[in-house]
Amino acid sequence: MENAVADGHRTENKGSNVLIPWNDSLSVGIQEIDEQHRVLVDLLNELHRAITEHHGSDAAIGILDRLVEYTRIHFSVEESLMRVLDYPGYEEHKQHHEQLIEQVYELRGKVGNGKHISFELLHFLKSWLTRHILEDDRDYVPFFLSRGVKASYEKRSWLDRIFHR
């Protein structure tokens, strides 16, 4: 991945062509989840750059495919934790995940059919993701921590090792 740094995260926030700058205000306070959210933010920023810099639909399709794949993995991790920890808001949270996946598939389908991705849809994804992180995901953090989930860890996560070799 371009712009990779030692910690495995991109440095996209330093450029002017950033849709969502990553900062501590987007942190939910659980390192594993924050790292996954950061990958999602990086992918949306990459998609935004591809559109604004006119990289073409093939580039956008590739980014969308990675966004779909990573989103599904991230949601599976969150939902698995919710089930294991018996999180009371699991069903509602899962429904929100399903709605975003549907929107991403819709976006992917439009690009696959030769249509351009509209900035309206891109900004919808930005709004949805930031609202989801800042509201929905932050809601489960106190519950997770009370059930023994660690806020941070010393070793790299399995997900980080897979996607940021």
> What does the pLDDT look like over 84-138, one tens digit per residue?
999 999 999 999 999 888 877 877 777 767 677 767 778 888 998 899 899 999 9
- State residue 109's pLDDT score: 76
Q: Could you tell me the residue ranges of all domains in the chain? A: 29-163
Q: Which of 36, 64, 42 is closest to 162 using CA atoms? A: 36
Higher pLDDT: 151 or 11? It is: 151
Q: Give residue for tokens 């489960």.
A: 140
pLDDT digits (tens, 9 = 90+) for 104-115: 787 777 776 767
pLDDT at 75 exceeding the cut of 80 = yes
Assess whether pLDDT exceeds 80 at residue 15.
no
Place of tokens 């953090």: 141
CA nearest neighbour of 15 among 39, 49, 43, 66:
49
CA distance 147 to 7: 28
Rounded distance between C-alpha atoms, residue 64 and residue 72, angstroms: 12
* 47: CB partners within 8 A, 6+ apart: 19, 60, 63, 64, 67, 117, 122
CA distances in angstroms from 87 to 51, 76, 90, 158, listed in the order given:
38, 14, 6, 23
pLDDT category at 165 given cuts 50, 70, 90 is: low
CA dist., res. 137 & res. 81, Å (int): 12
Which pLDDT does position 113 carry in this prediction? 73
- C-alpha 26/C-alpha 4 separation (Å) is 20
Q: Token match 């992918």: residue?
A: 43
Model-level pTM greater than 0.75? yes
Lowest mean pLDDT among 10-19, 138-147, 153-162: 10-19
Q: Could you read off the pLDDT of 39-71 as tens digits, one per residue?
A: 999 999 998 998 889 888 788 888 888 988 998
d(CA 81, CA 146): 13
pLDDT of 13 higher than 70 = no
Q: What is the pLDDT of residue 6?
A: 28
Q: What is the CATH number of domain 29-163?
A: 1.20.120.50
Tokens read off for 115:
């249509």
The full DSSP string for 60-122 is: HHHHHHHHHHHHHHHHHHHHHHHHHHT-TTHHHHHHHHHHHHHHHHHHHHHHHTTPPPPHHHH
